Structure 1
Amino acid sequence: MSSDLPSSPVSGWSGRVDGTAPEHLRWHQAVRPADDNAATTDDAPGRSTALVGFASDEGVRRNHGRVGASEGPAALRAALSSLAVLEGTGALVDAGDVVVEMGSEDAPGDLEGGQEELAGRIAGLLDAHTLTVVLGGGHETAYASATGLVRSGRVAAGTRVGILNLDAHFDLREAPRPSSGTPFLQALRDADAAEHEIAYAIVGISEANNTRVLFDTARERGVTWLTDEQSQTADVTGVRRFVRAFIDAVDVLYLTIDLDVLPAAVAPGVSAPAGFGVPYEVIHACAAEATESGKLALADVVELNPSLDVDGRTAKSAARLIHTIVSRHRRG
């Protein structure tokens, strides 16, 4: 007999219960607080994934987008809750949310403080767990993610850090204040004065939605990319080859998935729905390449706007990507 009673001690996780034996478990039954020392599994001892949310719309607001991404972490937890715990997944822990109150043009919210808090939390989680997954939030999440990674024990002097972005946009904008359009320029500039290196690659760039100055900035910064037109289902082998070659050239990998890379029919619940987009199976293949490489330390999924979603399509699509990343992850 099944029931729909909540079973996780962590807020936001509930769903169907078919039984309590390992073969019956769903995510909401397995997730534990990040400070729970008993959060272990018999099938993958020592392996653990930490989840942390970034409830922020301030970067989207500053970038003149449609706000609502601050509700993304809650919607992602809800969509993940009833997914099955596959054998070998390891422990699942939830470190809660970093919340950024949205401001206005006259009184901006403290995005920078929120990014600093999230970066510190990520650095600690990376040192304690096999994999860390951040639930965004606008794509301003990415600057905190990149900062947290380079502050963790995964990155030392000389480490080649790879940022693989599945996105329709470069997010290399020059702006007076950080926003959802600036995170990767910020991270690359930080690396200019650091002892580590950052390589940045994107799958899904929309030539119609990035100005010439953004392409120029990308070239100046040594960024590599595939356009959305180059990333269709018929070209999936070439896309995987591009991703694999990028990963082979770095030491540690951060994967960031902006859901607006997907076609609007698949991901309507984003600030900027794609008029063309990259098919879901291609994005899934990229995530699988990253996950199975043995180099993935950190992933985030961003720009889910539940207020704009239709039938939970975007949240479900995002949850499946996260499930793939966590279930297939291995550390080299």
Structure 2
Amino acid sequence: MTEIPLEPPPAWTGRVDGATQEHLRWHQAVTPLGNESHSCACVFIGFASDEGVARNNGRRGAAAGPDSLRGALSSMAIAEPIHACDAGTVMVTDDQLEAGQQALGSTVAATLDAGRFPVVLGGGHELAYGTYLGLAQSSARHPGLRIGILNLDAHFDLRADPIATSGTQFRQIIEREQAAGTTLQYSVLGISQPSNTAALFETARSLGVHYLLDDDCSVTDRHRVAVFVSDFLSDADLVHLTIDLDVLPASVAPAVSDPAAYGVPLETIQFVCDAIAASGKLAVCDVAELNPTYDVDNRTARTAARLIHRIVTKRIPPPTLSSPAAH
């Protein structure tokens, strides 16, 4: 399998109100990985791929997502001093999806082994398999520690297709864990019944997947959502939070492969992200399916960037990952 090197990160640019801490914006806080003079609160890693989406019969364009997310985050103001790094981007060509996932996994594992928090910017949701590989292969996964994957998504992504797509990744993960004789907890919040066949619901049940329908995730369902998240956290030691932006209503996130006819309110998604970030268990995070071609006034990119902003600034590191480099 051909090794895919990371492309250097683009320059982060944006509005400048001043150079002191009270004027700080993200573009002033991010430096290329390896050039930093301070420790990194997080490391951004781009995954420029829409091959998995195309294989899953979705519309191409998500490969441009990483730079769009960087651009949307750049001018957001930071309330407290923070330093972050950018490792660059895994560029995936049409025939190199599997190699790209392996390259992403290696980068995520190296980031975790350095005591840092990887935030993967997608790219199609096939990136979740690469993010998982990094966590599973890193020294953070001590024997006895159980990985929990919380997927904020309208879809299960448990298809049994003969090749990897943006709809197979969580089945691949579960099967890899089973082959290794280990287990993980896979939970999905925001499942759309009309977007998943009865066969996929049966697959989810047979694999022990926990899920909450989008019908049960309204703002008035806050207690139900809180219990779902609490139950998930009680079954996990290290959390992989993966956000497919099609979990949001199309009015909030139009720029995705499969816009939602209903979706989960942004208030609910933000509540869940805040709870996971503050849990002391969040090890890795990825954001997927931004397709800038179809965005309206950067609406989807700005929404995703706000979620990333809150996750990074509110995160309490897991004790197993705490180190001087992680703060």
TM-score (norm. length: structure 2)? 0.93
CA distance in 2, matches of 1:320, 1:257: 13
**1:321 pairs with 301, 307, 313, which one?**
307
2:83 equivalent in structure 1: 91
Going from structure 1 to structure 2, the CA distance change for 1:303 and 1:122 (only over 3 Å counts) comes to same
| 1:64 matched to 2:63 | no
CA distance in 1, matches of 2:296, 2:259: 12
Residues 128-158 of structure 1, C-alpha deviations (whole Å, 9 max, x = no match): 2431100010000000011111111111222
Residues 166-202 of structure 1, C-alpha deviations (whole Å, 9 max, x = no match): 0000000000100000000000011012254211001
Going from structure 1 to structure 2, the CA distance change for 1:10 and 1:60 (only over 3 Å counts) comes to closer
| 1:225 matched to 2:211 | yes
Identity of aligned residues (%): 51
2:167 equivalent in structure 1: 181
2:257 equivalent in structure 1: 271
Contact 1:159 1:197 in 2 (8 A): no
Task: Between the two structures, name the one with larger relative contact order (CA 8 Å, sep ≥ 6).
Answer: 2
2:104 equivalent in structure 1: 118
1:159-308 alignment, distance < 5 Å: 159-194=145-180, 196-308=182-294
| 1:76 matched to 2:69 | yes
Contact 2:41 2:312 in 1 (8 A): no
Report the AA paired with residue 18 of structure 2.
Answer: G
CA distance in 1, matches of 2:272, 2:34: 32
User: Which ranges in structure 1 are unaligned for 5 or more consecutive residues?
Assistant: 1-8, 41-46, 103-108
| 1:51 matched to 2:44 | yes
Report the AA paired with residue 23 of structure 2.
Answer: H
Report the AA paired with residue 118 of structure 2.
Answer: T
1:19 equivalent in structure 2: 18
Report the AA paired with residue 245 of structure 1.
Answer: D
> How many residues are paired up?
311
CA distance in 2, matches of 1:229, 1:52: 33
Contact 1:124 1:152 in 2 (8 A): yes
Contact 1:53 1:73 in 2 (8 A): yes
Going from structure 1 to structure 2, the CA distance change for 1:10 and 1:85 (only over 3 Å counts) comes to farther
Moved over 6 A (4+): none
Give the C-alpha shift of residue 125 in structure 1: 0.8
CA distance in 2, matches of 1:289, 1:248: 13
Residues 237-262 of structure 1, C-alpha deviations (whole Å, 9 max, x = no match): 21022112211221100000000000
CA distance in 2, matches of 1:37, 1:308: 35
Contact 1:72 1:305 in 2 (8 A): yes
Secondary structure at 1:48's aligned position in 2? coil
Report the aligned-residue RMSD.
1.3
Contact 2:44 2:120 in 1 (8 A): yes
CA distance in 1, matches of 2:50, 2:125: 9
1:131 equivalent in structure 2: 117
Secondary structure at 1:193's aligned position in 2? helix
Report the AA paired with residue 30 of structure 2.
Answer: V
CA distance in 2, matches of 1:99, 1:110: 9
